[in-house]
Amino acid sequence: MIIAGNWKMFRGPDPHALVGLDAIVCPPYTRLRDCVEAGLTTYAQNVHWEPEGAYTGEISAPMLLELGVTGSLVGHSERRQYFGETDETVAGRTRAALEAGLNVIACVGETLEERERGETDDVLRRQLSVLEPHPNLVLAYEPVWAIGTGRTATPEMAQEAHELIKSLIDAPVLYGGSVKPDNAATLLAQPAVDGALVGGASLDVDSFTAICQAAARIPS
Ligand code: PGA
């Protein structure tokens, strides 16, 4: 089971309080060093497709590696929604990060309108069509309507989407979208769910710890 905490643009908890948890943390860039120094497995929330260049505001894979960061999220729906991230830029970022030696968690997922129009499968197929399997690539299925809304996909919905994703790319698939201590065990018990990408609940040490403990109880 892989549990990753995405702190988004929040300061997040004291990294020392997370030492010993079997988890990945994805803090904002300004807190990467603190997390690395505390000994946590630390991923960035984004990474650029070039190693260096005139790209104000961006951070590259070699820069992250120099800090001791071992991976990055790519293609989070908030990047796609607010910052113009496209399937092509997601593909470029993923390829560059993997080639540089970072691990990648690439995020996919449909919006509420797309689900209601019955387009979930088409959206996932399109988003995944630009990605290739790689030993260091993990995918995260994050239905946009479940992120930060308190609305979680049912375990059956997650299982169905994960099965489709796995049929297209052979990689572990995390579920993300309002994962909390009280729903983690049922979601993680689905056979095609290989872990969780946790936003809001990763900001609180107790709830993140409880989710990691729920994951540890799932037989592998
Ligand atoms: P959430 O966020 O757990 O707060 O819904 C998940 C994510 O965006 O990765």
d(CA 66, CA 62): 6
Mean pLDDT of 167-174: 98
d(CA 129, CA 126): 5
Which pLDDT score is estimated for 154? Answer: 94
Tell me which amino acid residue 140 is.
Answer: A
Mean pLDDT of 199-216: 98
Distances (CA, A) of 208 to 53, 100, 171: 37, 30, 24
Digit-coded pLDDT (tens) for 53-86: 999 999 999 999 999 999 999 999 999 999 999 9
d(CA 131, CA 169): 8
Identify whether 76 is a catalytic site residue.
Answer: yes
Digit-coded pLDDT (tens) for 25-57: 999 999 999 999 999 999 999 999 999 999 999
Which pLDDT score is estimated for 150? Answer: 85
Which of the listed residues 73, 79, 152, 178 should we mutate to test ligand 1's pocket, taking the one with most ligand atoms within 8 A of CB?
178
Q: How far is the CA of 68 from the centre of ligand 1 (A)?
A: 25
Which pLDDT score is estimated for 219? Answer: 87
Ligand 1 atom 2: residue of nearest CA: 199
d(CA 36, CA 66): 11
Identify whether 142 is a catalytic site residue.
Answer: yes
pTM for the whole thing? 0.97
Which pLDDT score is estimated for 73? Answer: 98
Taking all residues of the chain, what is their mean pLDDT, rounded to a whole number?
A: 97
Which of the listed residues 108, 139, 147, 175 should we mutate to test ligand 1's pocket, taking the one with most ligand atoms within 8 A of CB?
147
Does the pLDDT at position 220 exceed 90? no
- pLDDT > 70: percent of the chain: 100
Other beta carbons within 10 Å of 23: 22
Residue 175 pLDDT class (50, 70, 90 cuts): very high
| Class of residue 87 by CB neighbours under 10 A (exposed 0-12, middle 13-18, buried 19+) | middle
